[in-house]
Structure 1
Amino acid sequence: MAVSSVPEPSYPGDDTLLVNVFTSAPGNPDARLPVFVWIHGGAYVAGSPSSSWYDGRAFNRDGVVTVSISYRLGFDGFGSIPGAPENRAVRDWLAALEWVQENIVAFGGDPSQVTIGGQSAGGGAVLTLLTMPRAQHLFRAAIVGSGTTDHVELHEARDQTETMARLLGIASNREAFADLDEDAILDAQDVVAPKSEPDAGRVVANALGDGRMRLRFAPVVDGPLVEYDVIEAVRRGIGSDKPLLIGATAHEFNMIGMAAQDAVADTQALDLLEKFGYDGDFAKRFVRELNISTPTDLVGQGITERLFRGSTELIASLRTCSTWLYDFRWKSPTIGIAVHCLELPYVWDHLDAELVSTSSGDNPPASLAREIHSSWVRFITEGEAPWPSYNFRRSGRTFDVESRTVEDPYRLSRDFLVARTPDNDVDPHILITKE
């Protein structure tokens, strides 16, 4: 299942829980270099740590040992199966970090200087670990790119398992699921968590109304291991003592707005915002400052704000210290916007990797890669980014053709989430153009 533009190959076989280690100091226990542990994205159902985009050579060049990890995906990783441990994927993350603590010295790394990082679902994994009491001793800092805060309640996970069992015609227990081959489980998983986009009216509701796009497989709030969802855990201050670098791209999932074309064909962006109860003055400011010209653009930006940018701002605002915020705004010359995953080759300073030109063009800006990569290296090695923390006037760094430090780069994202009056909500399906 392709869920991003990242080339992430899968390899057949049962022995999939592996780590990749990149180091410039193999067999040198005295090197004691800082360590960066990477968790890949893929909506918790896809992805791989073996992407050429995650080659650690640039981090090695700059004195950082890099580790990328794998974990069980989809129902295998997150399904609540009677007789099996909950949150098997989360346990995989913990096991990998424990392996790093026990073994990274042999690769020249320092187990007391571990920074965990991830993007998209990998960013969600990092947020989960950051807010888990059981994980606190396994790392000292965290980096989150375009992180999801999605979670699944235990009763929801159990209902999913019952649905899966009915689809497969088996008993709902570990033994019955273990007797099935992988393809059968994946087919049933695709029914429970379909790959297709929701209908046009629902896309509009997800972007501007009370609807919400959700991942069907995600960390389960089970109590013993994952005590709280990410936002609640941040509110409680769990992990707040650890430095956090967090950010998103400007137009993460804006292209999903195209799925709403039929629903908004006969309206205007400002009218659409007002129909959904957004304050008129805010609506004008939102459309003007983001250069939104069509209702489709508006719906796409709404999805981006709700799924990524709003939660990024919320997490930063809830933490009391040690938080650095970034905003990746450089627009792809081939797509025209700053989409999901676009920043990854720049973070890894690996612009010659496979398929980078598809999103970044034939001449990606090497200066942008040098700046972003060096900022990540600074954070990994020193526990701080080279710009003021968020706690100083909500400061953040915008990465663009000309990068700069600004005050409150996510102001519109914050306002978008509070500017709507729910009493003025509408049924999104009445907006669909009639033939």
Structure 2
Amino acid sequence: MSVVDTACGPVRGTVEDGVAVFRGIPYAAAPVGPLRFAPPAPVPPWESVLEATAFGPTAPKNPYAPPLDALLPDPDIPGDACLNLNVWTAAPGDGGRPVMVWIHGGALRNGSSAVSSYDGRAFARDGVVMVSLNYRLGIEGFGVFPDAPANLGLRDQIAALAWVRDNIRAFGGDPDNVTVFGESAGAISIAALLASPHSKGLFRRAVLQSGAPTAVDRAEAARTTHAIAEHLDVPPTAADFARVDRARLLAAQRAATAGGTPLTGGRGFHLVVDGDVVPEDPATALARGAADGIDVLVGGNTDEYRLWFVPSGLVDRIGSTALWAAVLKDRAPWRAPGVYRATRPGASPGEILGAMVTDKALRVPLNRLADARAGRAGHPDRPGRTFVYEFAWPSPQHDLGACHALEIGFVFDTLDTPDSLLLTGATAPRHLAEAMHRAWVAFARGGDPGWPQWSTERPVMTYGADGARVVLAPRERERRLWV
């Protein structure tokens, strides 16, 4: 057993494979009662030792809908104190180690830090103090009300990062060398954190995995809140929602958001331009230099779309008519299907559309971010280095290819965990996990993952079936369609 003193009181963790693990440490008060739709509040201190030996409660949420529920396990741990975090460290008390803080994905309505593939022991083994956290989800984290602040889930993340700043030295970490990394909605959150004045000084580097800078205005985001209010037959205010039983609220949320996905659209939850935590569109702010001085690593997976298109059968239901209808609806260039088909002989219309959607939603916005930062290289305030990667190894499981979320087990070097195995199968190349994990550790340690930073040559470290290698300007003709 290992005991560490935090600002709120002592915590006792466990030792697993030589790594001290502290689970379920509260970083903010339980968001219940008057705090339910309020910004995160300080944790009441404790005097006796807090047993931090099990994951804490997860944020209220519905399970993933089929068929994703069979591919993306989402532990549900009951309890009110869902604003908690976990720490993995090989050297508590021995300060000076780089820190990595993981922000999970899940479309801002699913996910938690208790997923087995997020285990931080490999990072601790390699000299990093790793932290993972929970934050409020769905309507309680990202609802838009006239009588409550917006972006409560993002405010939770900032509170967790402040906890890291104030406490991580006791766990062996360096509060001046913090890297935030996240996937999907976690990466979208990090893009907003990069541009937010509320997170200044809380981290030094950032990794965005399969998530691009984006936020919407209050009116657009409020549509989901209003739809849930209609299902509940109550006014769309925080005061009225706070009086609704949580199970009933989640049922209404499920009904109002059914059928939507991050790539195909539909009603869901978004970060909101609120003039405060998110003062303006993050992509615009970052292009103007909001994250100057911060090193950034960004990238995605070659076949992001297949997580949603293949298990659901959507990829087979899309014919030529539907493909051209989508081109018209999304105002894509008319020559786009032909350009994509030229490098994908034999691809179905659904696969062509999926590749186009992946580029428009993820690869192209991340390239724009990298270009904007590289374009500021001569600015007096150093913009920070930018590195780009692509994960291209195709999973043999369920014809998923290099789908969304597949890279996570490689980044964490947790290919043997039950959650990773669901996506990768038992034959995933360990050398690729070693290479990817090693790059993330190197980036956290000194800001250089081991390949050239972004430039006009567009170097992309590609993790594929043939190993890890730098590719210059991959699929450039396709990318230029969207410029």
Partner Cα distance (2:139, 2:75) in 1: 20
Deviates more, 1:40-49 or 1:304-313: 304-313
Alignment pair present for 1:25 and 2:91: yes
2:372 match? 318
What is residue 329 of structure 1 aligned with on the other side? 392
How far is the alpha carbon of 1:328 from its aligned partner? 0.6
Aligned pair partner of 1:264 in 319, 325, 329: 319
Contact 1:79 1:217 in 2 (8 A): yes
- Cα distance 1:255–1:17, how it changes in 2: closer, same or farther (>3 A)? closer
Confirm or deny: 8 A CA contact 1:272 1:295 kept in the other structure.
no
Aligned-pair distance for 1:159? 4.3
Encode CA deviations 1:130-161: one digit per residue, 9 max, x unaligned.
11122121000000100143423112234443
CA pair 410-138 structure 1, distance change in 2 beyond 3 A: farther
* Equivalent residues in 2 for 1:213-228, closer than 5 Å: 213=265, 216-228=268-280
Q: Does 1:242 align with 2:274?
A: no
SS in 1 for 2:90: coil
Evaluate the alpha carbon distance shift between residue 273 and residue 179 of structure 1 in structure 2; reply closer, same or farther with a 3 A threshold: closer
Q: What's the TM-score, normalizing by structure 2?
A: 0.77
Could you tell me how far apart the structure 1 residues matched to 2:302 and 2:476 are? Answer: 13
Q: Does 1:119 align with 2:183?
A: yes
8 A contact 2:340–2:356 mirrored in 1: no
Name the count of aligned residue pairs.
402
Tell me the distance in 2 between the aligned counterparts of 1:381 and 1:248.
Answer: 22
Does residue 288 (structure 1) correspond to residue 378 (structure 2)? The answer is no
Contact 2:108 2:185 in 1 (8 A): yes
- Does the Cα contact within 8 Å between 1:397 and 1:405 map onto a contact in 2? yes
Which stretch has the larger CA shift, 106-115 or 251-260? 251-260
8 Å Cα contact 1:72-1:89 kept in structure 2: yes
Structure 2 unmatched runs, 5+? 1-62, 378-384
Q: Deviations along 1:316-364, whole A, 9 cap, x unmatched?
A: 1121251100011111122441001111111001111113333222221
Structure 2 Cα separation of the partners of residues 340 and 350 of structure 1: 17
**Higher mean C-alpha deviation, range 223-232 or range 105-114:** 223-232
Distance across 2 between alignment mates of 1:57 and 1:36: 12
Which structure is higher in RCO with an 8 Å CA cutoff and minimum separation 6?
1
User: Residues 274, 129 of structure 1: CA spacing in aligned structure 2 closer, same or farther, 3 A cutoff?
Assistant: closer
Alignment of 1:140-151 (within 5 A): 140-151=204-215
Number of the residue aligned with 2:469: 404
Of 16, 27, 47 in structure 1, the residue corresponding to residue 111 of structure 2 is 47
**1:383-402 aligned within 5 A:** 383-391=447-455, 393-402=457-466
Change (3 A) 1:167 1:108: same
State the Cα distance separating 1:38 from its structure 2 match. Answer: 0.3
User: Which secondary structure state, in structure 1, belongs to the residue aligned with residue 161 of structure 2?
Assistant: helix
Q: What is residue 416 of structure 1 aligned with on the other side?
A: 481
In the alignment, the residues of structure 2 paired with residue 228 and residue 292 of structure 1 have an alpha-carbon distance, to the nearest angstrom, of 43
Correspondence for 2:7:
none
**Aligned partner of 2:451: which letter?**
W
Which AA in structure 2 matches 1:83?
Answer: D
Change over 3 Å in CA distance of 1:71–1:391 after alignment to 2: same
Distance 1:283 1:264, change over 3 A: closer
SS for the counterpart of 1:9 is coil
- Which whole-Å deviations, capped at 9, do the CAs of 1:245-266 have from their partners, x for residues lacking one? 0000000013544426445167
Superposed displacement of residue 392, structure 1: 5.2
- Tell me, yes or no, if structure 1 residue 11 matches structure 2 residue 63: no
Structure 1 counterpart of 2:77, which letter? Y
Residue-by-residue CA offset, 1:153-184 (whole Å, 9 max, x unaligned): 11223444344333312233332211111121
Indicate the residue corresponding to 1:433 in structure 2: none
Match of 1:71 among 118, 124, 135: 135
C-alpha contact 2:116 2:419 (8 A) present in aligned 1: no
Cα RMSD (Å) of the superposition? 2.6
Q: Which residue of 2 aligns with 1:351?
A: 415
Task: Tell me how far 1:303 sits from its aligned partner.
Answer: 2.1
Alpha-carbon displacement from aligned partner over 1:368-406 (angstroms, at most 9, x marks no partner): 011000000000001122000112511110111222112
Would the alpha carbon gap of residues 244 and 286 (structure 1) be closer, same or farther in structure 2, given more than 3 Å must change? same
Separation in structure 2 between the aligned mates of residue 345 and residue 289 of structure 1, nearest angstrom: 28
Q: Using the alignment, how far apart are the partners of 2:260 and 2:190 within structure 1?
A: 27
State the match for 1:201 in structure 2.
Answer: none
Higher percent of residues as helix = 1
* 1:125 partner SS: helix
Match of 2:245 in 1: 181
Q: Is the 8 A contact 2:364 2:479 kept in 1?
A: yes
Give the TM-score taking structure 1 as reference length: 0.85
SS across alignment from 1:355: helix
Matched, 1:367 2:419: no
Is there any run of 5+ residues in structure 1 with no aligned partner, and where? 199-205, 207-211, 419-435
Structure 1 window deviating more from structure 2 (361-370 vs 407-416): it is 407-416
Change (3 A) 1:392 1:156: closer
Q: 2 CA distance for matches of 1:197 and 1:242?
A: 31
